[in-house]
């Protein structure tokens, strides 16, 4: 369990400054909606999540205890827990402990000394080296060897598997019971396909468990390796009803995209669903550095093409970020006369549609030779996140035009602008951070917003924002459809940076003491059990 438990008078000033970038939030919800059996599942689900925690430490850094014990400064030790290692995730992965050197691009999932050339040559001979679920190590002959996660982390996977089976005993919902049982098996066999399919078939469960090696952001070398994480969530039934109807509109929205027909020829999954939850546990990858407020899974393109995806909106985490971060940011950086357009409903909507928008666009390159993810490698995540942000805004505006969604598009636009300032603070080491830098620079260039030199505040230009949105949509979907790795690399190099003026404005936010992100107080005590 992580929370900031350092007395702010302890530790160095350097350490306390770093820690002050985070503020605590208790992950709670009304457990009164759960049955007695559902409550009995929670300790098992939390215990399974804790195993992902320990796997992720090994993937991201190595030996957790050795690192923490070597840090005397209490504030920095706490900061290492938040970062799952000695590199500052919201500070461009800068080392904050002396002598550790730069963070390896492949974290601890590849040998530190491996070059891209060596790896690619070896992976051409042995494709398992590039697998989602393998660690790459050097064998006795210094050759590269792939070790499947269920062997590399056999103990953790075994314990997590047993906890999931114990939880499944109490699952009244048959879909949840099947999923937990299959997932328990997947963790120890490394075969995730069946459990991903079963996860897609769950519809009526009130408790939700996401667990396993899932996202590939931690692998900044190639974007191949999935990092261990877990969420335990409680479904918000009333919000979920309101959200479910939008998935039906995906095909219409896909048709309306402002790109040539060949870039929108794939059919978005229509079996996709969208639900709202309160989160009660985050573990591993998802608990490191900045916290996710929405989930779109599974990542397996086979499953996506067969069943679409499920999108999970984490409402209590979102409200925390809105209240504690976005509103204070807009008080500093958004023009006075537009500030009333920064609203939780718009923030919730933008985030919700970001997730839906992952389902739009294209998953395979036009020539059919590769998936977009495979073709764009380490740039795939930033581009995909940027796509989802921009198409999310497109969706809101299209659905408002169609009379499907009520509201004022100006709220979504100004909240979107404020959201860019929030997300560029995640830094260049985060795919979301890079996506927002790209959008900031691209939108500024197109006049979608402007900065008043006197007040130092930004205003959205609503018409030009629509133009910029359409132009960036086309640019990204072309890169993806063409599988244009070189083009994306050049684009990212040009746009994914923080210009001087923006850095000065971000420094003003820091000077005002506005936190960058949240750490969670979580666990049985936090939910009152």
Distances (CA, A) of 156 to 69, 114, 152, 212: 22, 27, 9, 11
Least Å from the CB of residue 459 to Zn ion = 27
180/395 with CB nearer Zn ion: 395
* Residues facing 516 on adjacent strands: none
211/388 with CB nearer Zn ion: 388
User: Measured between alpha carbons, how far is 515 from 323 in angstroms, rounded to an integer?
Assistant: 11
Least Å from the CB of residue 359 to Zn ion = 11
Would you say the C-alpha torsion 198, 364, 125, 137 has a positive or negative sign? negative
For 134, how many CA atoms within 13 A lie in the half-sphere containing its CB?
16
Least Å from the CB of residue 482 to Zn ion = 22
Structure tokens at 93: 């992965």
360/388 with CB nearer Zn ion: 388
Least Å from the CB of residue 403 to Zn ion = 27
Least Å from the CB of residue 392 to Zn ion = 9
| Site size with Zn ion, rule: CB under 5 A | 2
Residue 422 near residue 328, CB atoms below 8 Å: no
Distances (CA, A) of 3 to 24, 25, 116, 314, 513: 7, 9, 37, 19, 19
User: Measured between alpha carbons, how far is 221 from 378 in angstroms, rounded to an integer?
Assistant: 6
The DSSP element (H or E) to which 381 belongs, if any, is helix 380-401
73/385 with CB nearer Zn ion: 385
Q: By CB under 5 A, which span of 29-37, 177-185, 330-338, 383-391 interacts with Zn ion?
A: 383-391
Q: By CB under 5 A, which span of 119-127, 152-160, 386-394, 499-507 interacts with Zn ion?
A: 386-394
Q: By CB under 5 A, which span of 94-102, 303-311, 387-395, 410-418 interacts with Zn ion?
A: 387-395
Distances (CA, A) of 197 to 75, 161, 298: 43, 18, 9
Least Å from the CB of residue 462 to Zn ion = 25
152/362 with CB nearer Zn ion: 362
Least Å from the CB of residue 384 to Zn ion = 7
Short-list 414, 294, 416, 415, CA closest to 352: 294
Least Å from the CB of residue 388 to Zn ion = 5
Q: By CB under 5 A, which span of 29-37, 49-57, 149-157, 379-387 interacts with Zn ion?
A: 379-387
178/292 with CB nearer Zn ion: 292
Residue ranges in 30-115 assigned as alpha helix (H): 36-60, 64-70, 74-83
Least Å from the CB of residue 385 to Zn ion = 5
73/196 with CB nearer Zn ion: 196
- Which residues have C-beta within 8 Å of that of residue 494, sequence separation ≥ 6? none
Residue 102's SS3 state is coil
Residue with the CB atom nearest Zn ion in the bound state: 388
Least Å from the CB of residue 200 to Zn ion = 18
Residue 363's SS3 state is coil
164/326 with CB nearer Zn ion: 326
Q: By CB under 5 A, which span of 235-243, 334-342, 378-386, 419-427 interacts with Zn ion?
A: 378-386
Q: By CB under 5 A, which span of 203-211, 284-292, 377-385, 418-426 interacts with Zn ion?
A: 377-385
- Answer for which of 48, 318, 320, 388 binds Zn ion (CB under 5 A) is 388
294/518 with CB nearer Zn ion: 294
* Residues facing 364 on adjacent strands: 371
Instruction: Using DSSP bridges, classify how beta strands 134-138 and 22-26 pair: parallel, antiparallel or unpaired.
Output: unpaired
71/388 with CB nearer Zn ion: 388
268/523 with CB nearer Zn ion: 268
In the 8-state DSSP scheme, what is residue 267? P
Least Å from the CB of residue 383 to Zn ion = 11
- Cα end-to-end distance, the chain, whole Å: 15
Structure tokens at 437: 């830098």
Residue 111: other Cβ atoms inside 10 A: 17
Q: By CB under 5 A, which span of 264-272, 276-284, 329-337, 385-393 interacts with Zn ion?
A: 385-393
Q: By CB under 5 A, which span of 153-161, 301-309, 382-390, 416-424 interacts with Zn ion?
A: 382-390
Instruction: Give residues 196-225 in contact with Zn ion (rule: CB under 5 A).
Output: none
Residue numbers of the site for Zn ion (CB under 5 A)? 385, 388
């Amino acid at each position: 369990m992580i929370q900031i438990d350092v007395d702010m008078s302890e530790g160095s000033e350097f350490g306390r400054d770093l820690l002050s970038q985070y503020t605590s939030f208790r992950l709670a919800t009304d457990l009164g909606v759960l049955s007695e059996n559902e409550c009995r599942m929670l300790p098992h689900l939390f215990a399974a999540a804790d195993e992902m925690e320990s796997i992720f430490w090994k993937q991201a850094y190595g030996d957790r205890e050795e690192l923490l014990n070597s840090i005397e400064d209490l504030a920095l030790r706490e900061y290492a827990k938040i970062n799952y290692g000695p590199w500052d995730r919201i500070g461009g992965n800068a080392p904050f402990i002396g002598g550790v050197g730069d963070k390896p691009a492949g974290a601890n999932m590849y040998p530190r000394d491996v070059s891209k050339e060596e790896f690619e040559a070896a992976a051409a001979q042995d494709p398992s080296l590039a697998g989602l679920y393998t660690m790459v190590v050097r064998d006795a002959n210094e050759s590269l060897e792939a070790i499947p996660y269920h062997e590399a982390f056999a103990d953790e996977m075994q314990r997590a598997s047993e906890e999931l089976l114990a939880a499944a005993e109490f699952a009244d919902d048959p879909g949840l019971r099947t999923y937990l049982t299959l997932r328990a098996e997947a963790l120890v066999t490394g075969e995730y396909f069946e459990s991903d399919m079963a996860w897609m078939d769950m519809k009526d469960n009130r408790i939700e468990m996401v667990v396993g090696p899932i996202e590939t952001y931690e692998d900044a070398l190639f974007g191949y390796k999935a990092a261990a994480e877990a969420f335990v969530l409680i479904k918000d039934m009333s919000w979920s009803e309101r959200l479910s109807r939008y998935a039906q509109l995906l095909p219409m929205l896909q048709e309306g995209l402002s790109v040539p027909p060949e870039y929108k020829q794939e059919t978005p999954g229509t079996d996709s669903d969208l639900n709202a939850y309160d989160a009660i546990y985050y573990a591993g990858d998802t608990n490191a550095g900045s916290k996710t407020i929405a989930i779109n899974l599974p990542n397996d393109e086979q499953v996506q093409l067969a069943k679409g995806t499920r999108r999970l909106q984490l409402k209590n985490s979102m409200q925390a970020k809105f209240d504690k971060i976005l509103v204070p940011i807009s008080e500093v950086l958004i023009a006075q006369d537009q500030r009333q357009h920064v609203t939780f409903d718009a923030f919730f909507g933008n985030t919700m549609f970001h997730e839906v928008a992952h389902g739009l666009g294209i998953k395979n390159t036009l020539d059919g030779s590769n998936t977009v993810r495979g073709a764009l490698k380490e740039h795939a995540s930033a581009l995909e996140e940027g796509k989802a942000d921009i198409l999310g805004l497109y969706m809101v505006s299209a659905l408002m035009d169609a009379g499907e969604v009520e509201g004022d598009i100006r709220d979504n636009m100004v909240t979107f602008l404020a959201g860019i300032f929030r997300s560029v603070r995640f830094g260049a080491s985060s795919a979301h951070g890079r996506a927002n830098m790209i959008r900031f620079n691209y939108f500024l260039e197109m006049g979608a917003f402007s900065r008043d030199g006197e007040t130092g505040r930004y205003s959205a230009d609503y018409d030009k924002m629509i133009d910029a949105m359409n132009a960036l949509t086309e640019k990204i979907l072309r890169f993806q459809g063409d599988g244009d790795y070189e083009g994306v690399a050049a684009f990212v190099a040009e746009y994914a940076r923080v210009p001087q003026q923006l850095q000065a404005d971000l420094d003003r936010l820091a000077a005002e003491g506005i936190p960058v992100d949240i750490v969670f107080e979580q666990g049985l005590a936090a939910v009152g059990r």
